[in-house]
Amino acid sequence: MRTDHNLTVLSKNEIDRLMLQNVSADAAYRYLSEGLQIRGFSEILSQYYDGDKSALVDGLCKIEKGLHRDSIARKVRDWLSDKYMPSERDELIKICFALGFGERQANGFLSMTAEGGFHLRNPDELAYAYCLRTGKSYDEAVSLIAALKPLGATAGKSFAMTKTVADAFQGVYDDSAFHSFYAEQYDNLGKLHNTAYSRFIFFLDMLIDPSNPLYAEADKKYSVDEVVELYLRMNVPFDKRTAKMTLLQKTIRKYWPNATSIVKMRNRDEDVTRRVLLLLYLVTEGAAPDDGGYDEELSERELFDEHYWRLNSMLHDCGMSRLDPRSVFDWLVLYCLKIGGDEAMSERMLSVLNLIFKTETI
């Protein structure tokens, strides 16, 4: 495999294990349940902060003025003991300010904990990034956001890519420059990821109207409901009652797309999620615009390598975090990339999900 210098030793070991071994669905299920060394919050934080962790309580108390210190301290203890991770993006951004992160440090931390660094077309995240870059406080960031001209109904209609805004943002180091930059880029700003949306639509259109069918007749068009049921549902239960579910079941089920969420993403009422893009990549076998396909002479290992780099490239272009072999869902995606013969990626996913949720293939 081409060397991936972004991997830690443990992550590289996971990739090597997947690439070199033929893991059955049963073995994959057992490994996800018992063997995978999941990356905890304390480990992630240690990669970006080596100071006294008690500073996190002090910093959050200055930000969360309405909360009692004991409540904040208890929550921080739970995070650092890996009882659970902070899941809200706003909360993770507050942690960056509480610990005095710089912009680059914060961007890396968010990539590991929130599935993507700062979205620099989003006015709020632009302000947070600028304030971390210049050493301002969280309160100053909130005040700056409140003073910005709100986005109008046509925000983001120019379909500008984030890189355009990010390049212009590089030289912004004082308030005057920030406000000038904001005014100049105003028509390019928006809260939704444009590159991710374009890939989402490409994948979705392939499934709605398959000119080169995957599992469907070429002359039939499908509704979004049918696409979700045929390709994306994968027997994952949508029952709201989760009390009796295992931790693994809850982890997989969380954020699993349904027809309503896919329609909202298609209509740009919701942002395209990283999980949806990963699932669509699997069910379309990694199709890409203007794609010449894959070399039929590639071995299983070489094909895994090809998909690994293509998928990470797509995630990077969309402003989303790279694949993390020590994340449950990402490990499962990587397992699905190791295909051989006529086996499909989505079939490998379904076989493990059936074991996780104790369901049978429809």
Q: What is the pLDDT of residue 289?
A: 64
What tens digit of pLDDT does each residue of 200-258 get?
999 999 999 876 555 555 557 889 999 999 999 999 988 777 788 888 998 899 889 99
98 CB neighbour count, 10 Å cutoff: 22
For the residues 164-172, what does the mean pLDDT come to? 92
The fraction of the chain above a pLDDT of 90, given in percent, is 67
Q: What is the pLDDT of residue 239?
A: 79
What tens digit of pLDDT does each residue of 84-109 get?
899 899 999 999 999 999 999 999 99
* Cα dihedral across residues 287, 291, 293, 294: positive or negative: negative
Q: What is the C-alpha to C-alpha distance for residues 47 and 39, in angstroms, rounded to an integer?
A: 11
C-alpha gyration radius of the chain: 22
User: In this structure, what token pair is assigned to residue 124?
Assistant: 């709020």
- The structure tokens 């970006």 sit at 48
Q: What is the C-alpha to C-alpha distance for residues 114 and 127, in angstroms, rounded to an integer?
A: 18
Q: What is the pLDDT of residue 362?
A: 39
From residue 311, how far is each of 6, 8, 113, 304, 322 by CA, in Å?
15, 19, 19, 10, 8
Q: What is the pLDDT of residue 361?
A: 43
Q: What is the pLDDT of residue 148?
A: 96
**pLDDT exceeds cutoff 70 at 2:** no
How far does CA 207 lie from the centroid of its chain? 22
Question: DSSP per residue over 3-60, as a string?
Answer: --TT--HHHHHHHHHHHHS---HHHHHHIIIII--PPPHHHHHHHH--S-THHHHHHH
Q: What is the C-alpha to C-alpha distance for residues 222 and 218, in angstroms, rounded to an integer?
A: 11
Q: What is the pLDDT of residue 5?
A: 61
User: In this structure, what token pair is assigned to residue 1?
Assistant: 């495999």
Average pLDDT of the chain? Answer: 89
Q: What is the pLDDT of residue 218?
A: 54
Residues 186, 152 contacting (CB under 8 angstroms)? no
In terms of DSSP H, where are the helices of 49-137?
54-63, 69-80, 89-98, 103-113, 123-133
What tens digit of pLDDT does each residue of 117-146 get?
999 999 999 999 999 999 999 999 999 999
For the residues 35-50, what does the mean pLDDT come to? 92
Q: What is the pLDDT of residue 225?
A: 94
> Please, which pLDDT band fits residue 154 given cuts at 50, 70 and 90?
low
Higher pLDDT, 27 or 8: 27
Q: What is the pLDDT of residue 156?
A: 53
Q: What is the C-alpha to C-alpha distance for residues 123 and 184, in angstroms, rounded to an integer?
A: 13
